[in-house]
Structures are given as C-alpha cells and as structure tokens.
C-alpha cells in the first residue's frame, strides 16, 4: 500500500489536507493524523480531538473526537485510495464522533516491528513468563519489550531451544520447540507468580482453552462412562466415578468426580465439572462451597485443587474404577503446597517434537525407572517412527530411481548428440560433396524410372 494525502473536514467545515506519505508503520500514521488534526484545530478555531487523540484499537484506527454534536469525516484526494486503505473512509462514508471513534477494520498482519501496545486484547504492559524445555527453566522478563522483535530476542536469548515465529495468518506468535527431549522435559510455557502475560500473548501451553485431546502428547484423557449396575441393569453412578478427592478436614470428606464426554473437551469444561460436583457434595456434607475449588496453577502450569486453609491435613486424589483420568490430567503425580493448601497437578499439556529421538529418550527413562506402561508407550512410538522411516525410505528410493533413469537417458542423448556433432566436424568436404552428388543422381534416376513406369498402359503391351 502506497500512502498519499487525505482530506479532513469537521462538522461540514472547510477541508484540510494531511500528507501521510512516507509513513512506515501504523504508529507513524496515527502521529501524522493527530498532528494534522491539531493543526486543523488551530487554523479554524475549533476543538476536534478529545483526550485520547489518534490511536490503534484492535484492527482499526481510533480517533477520539471531542464530546459534542459535530462529526469528523475523511475524503480522498484526486484518484488516491489512502483514506479507504486506512479505514478512514468507506461506502457509505464513515463519520467519526465521540460515540463512534473507530474506523473500518484493517485486518492488519503482524510484523516484527509491530508495537506491543497495538495488539488487540493485550490489556496493559507485559510481565514475565516461565519457559521450561529440555530439563532447563528460565523466567523471561518481557516488561521492557516494545515490539514483537523484542519478545523474540528475549525468548530466543534464553538458549532453551525455543524459536519464535509469526504464524501463517499473520495474527499471532508461534513458539516452536526445536529440541528433542523425553516427556518429562518437553516444552512448557506458564505464568509467573499469578501473572497473566503468557495467557494474554496466547502462548501459555496450559490454559482454560487447551483441549484435553492434546494432553499427554495427543493421547488425550480417558474416562469411564455408561457402565451399568450388574444387578439392576441401570447405569450406576458409583461405577462411573473417575476419581475421588479426599479433603484434609477431620472428617476426611470425600468428593467423588464423575466425568462425562462433554466434560473432557477443554481444561475449562473439566474445571467446571469438578467445581460443580464439589459444590453440591460440600453442601451435603455441611461444608462451605469454597472448601474445595479447582483452577489453574498461578505459578507454572497444571490443575490446582485448593482446599480451606483451616483443614489440618493435605488433600489427596485417588483413581476409581480403573479410570485413567486422574493420572492423565496430572493429579495423581501432583505436589501438595501446604502454604496455599493446594494440590498442584503435573503439567500434562507439554509440547515436544514427535520423532524417533523423543521416543528413544522416553524408552531410556522408562527402562531406568522400570515403568512397564511407559516402556509399552515408548516402544509403540519407536515402532511407529520406524514405520514412518521405512515408508520415507521407499519414497526417497522411488525418487532416486527416477533420477537415475533420467540421468542415464540424458547421458545417452548427450553421447548421441556428440557422435553426430563429431561426424559433422570431422567429415572430408570433397568426399561428402561427391557422395551427395551420387546420392542425388541415384534419387533422380529412381524418380525418373518411377515416372516412366507410371505412364505405361495396357495398350503398350498389346501390340
């Protein structure tokens, strides 16, 4: 887009022109527009802008017009399209007012020079994020970052094997793991001390919107559901309970959690189900509703089960009915924090490279820990990777065979061309001319004989 000049008029008054050519960023455009509107105010003795001035909100330019009945409008100059390209003019025309400050949505694409302050929904300055990868952890302070390039520099500067890139849609960041590691050392991006920076940037690996199907590196979360009572045939709630939370109160109150398929969609649906069932059972036990609350860990990642600080003992989680759910959401391998009276579950939404090396590392750890289930999973992963390698070798072999065949044909063609070229270069001119004359005579004789024989008829043989 090439920027030019736009016309501006306030309250149907005179039209002034603002030159936007040479602007490199939307920030430059906003500064020039505000300077032009301030000049309009001084030239015509009117108040156009309010306290907000000209800024960027979401995907649109925002012009804070001063309170009043007057409206601000922009127009093109000549055959230019600058005002339309910037969302300042459209069909029908856009009228900026105190109650309508936004222009048309520009659907902007991010670049490394994009100011962080212009990102939609960010809501304030950045803080710190915690990145763990390949057995190492770093807290990255982003509070001084001004552009997206500053974020990339800070994250990649940790040397944790994490690459930052713009996504293909140009509307977000991707944090790419470049190091093969075992399951326990996979990539995790979380918050620091109750912050929200990773969530607001959309890079937290364990958020309310994280799908449970992505847990455990794509294995998801399994539940027991729809099991019937053998005696009566009807569905039995006790048989469908996935795990039990035992509180640390003197009565050791037990909260049974029965998960349904609609509860294992996202982290938020899981938390809602746990809290819903806990609230009803706490009420039945005569305990306050906030005696048990499920949420996200405020430092790092994982599901957090918080009980009342008045309870003397730690809370515990036990699996029921051979359901794998509690283990697969990280509660069975969690740690209890006495200071906050909370059980912090293990992060089961980590991200890693799916390759033969990661499966071999998993196999090594499982063999060292005598983990039969882990050995089976790692073995399956190794087998699948070997199948992919064999298939890839077949594809590469097929391409190699085609290349060899084409190379052989090209070599034969080059040899034939060189033979013909050599024959032409080394021929005796006199001998070639004589041979040509002889061949030409033979051809003429053949043509003449053919012509004479074609003129004869049956009458030539009857006399």
**Beta-bridge mates of residue 115:** 147
pLDDT digits (tens, 9 = 90+) for 29-64: 999 999 999 999 999 999 999 988 998 887 889 999
Residue stretches of the chain with pLDDT short of 50: none
Given this model, what pLDDT does residue 433 score? 84
Given this model, what pLDDT does residue 231 score? 62
Given this model, what pLDDT does residue 97 score? 92
Given this model, what pLDDT does residue 224 score? 93
Given this model, what pLDDT does residue 56 score? 83
| Cβ atoms within 10 Å, residue 208 | 15
Average pLDDT value for the chain: 90
Given this model, what pLDDT does residue 370 score? 86
Given this model, what pLDDT does residue 148 score? 94
Whether the predicted model's global pTM rises above the 0.75 cut: no
| Percent of the chain topping pLDDT 70 | 96
Give the span between the Cα atoms of 108 and 118, in whole angstroms: 11
């Amino acid at each position: 887009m090439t920027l030019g000049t736009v016309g501006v008029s306030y309250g149907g008054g005179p039209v002034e022109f603002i030159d936007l050519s040479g602007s490199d960023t939307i920030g430059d455009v906003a500064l020039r527009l505000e300077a032009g509107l301030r000049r309009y105010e001084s030239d015509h003795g009117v108040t156009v802008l309010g306290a907000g001035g000209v800024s960027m909100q979401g995907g649109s330019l925002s012009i804070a017009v001063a309170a009043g009945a007057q409206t601000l409008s922009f127009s093109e100059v000549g055959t230019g399209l600058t005002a339309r390209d910037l969302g300042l003019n459209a069909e029908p025309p856009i009228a900026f007012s105190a109650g309508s400050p936004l222009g048309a949505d520009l659907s902007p694409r991010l670049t490394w020079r994009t100011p962080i302050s212009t990102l939609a929904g960010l809501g304030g300055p950045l803080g710190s994020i915690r990145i763990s990868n390949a057995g190492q952890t770093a807290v990255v302070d982003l509070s001084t970052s001004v552009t997206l390039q500053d974020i990339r520099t800070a994250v990649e500067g940790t040397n944790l094997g994490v690459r930052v890139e713009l996504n293909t849609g140009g509307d977000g960041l991707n944090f790419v793991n470049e190091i093969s590691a075992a399951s326990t050392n996979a990539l995790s991006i979380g918050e620091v001390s109750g912050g929200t920076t990773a969530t607001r940037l959309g890079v937290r690996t364990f958020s309310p919107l994280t799908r449970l199907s992505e847990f455990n590196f794509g294995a998801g979360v399994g539940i027991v559901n729809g099991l019937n009572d053998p005696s009566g045939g009807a569905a039995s709630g006790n048989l469908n309970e996935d795990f039990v939370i035992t509180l640390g109160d003197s009565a050791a109150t037990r909260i049974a959690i029965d998960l349904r398929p609609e509860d294992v969609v996202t982290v938020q649906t899981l938390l809602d189900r746990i809290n819903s069932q806990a609230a009803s059972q706490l009420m039945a036990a005569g305990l306050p509703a906030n005696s048990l609350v499920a949420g996200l860990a405020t430092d790092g990642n994982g599901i957090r089960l918080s009980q009342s600080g008045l309870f003397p003992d730690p809370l515990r989680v036990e699996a029921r009915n051979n359901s794998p759910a509690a283990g697969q959401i990280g509660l069975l391998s969690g740690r209890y924090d006495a200071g906050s009276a909370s059980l912090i579950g293990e992060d089961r939404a980590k991200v890693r490279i799916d390759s033969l090396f990661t499966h071999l590392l998993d196999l090594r750890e499982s063999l060292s820990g005598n983990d039969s289930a882990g050995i089976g999973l790692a073995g399956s992963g190794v087998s699948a990777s070997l199948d992919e390698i064999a298939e890839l070798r077949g594809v590469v072999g097929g391409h190699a065979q085609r290349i060899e065949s084409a190379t052989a044909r090209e070599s034969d063609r080059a040899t034939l061309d060189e033979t013909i070229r050599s024959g032409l270069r080394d021929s005796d001119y006199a001998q070639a001319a004589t041979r040509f004359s002889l061949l030409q005579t033979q051809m003429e004789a053949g043509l003449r004989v053919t012509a004479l024989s074609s003129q004869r008829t049956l009458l030539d043989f009857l006399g």
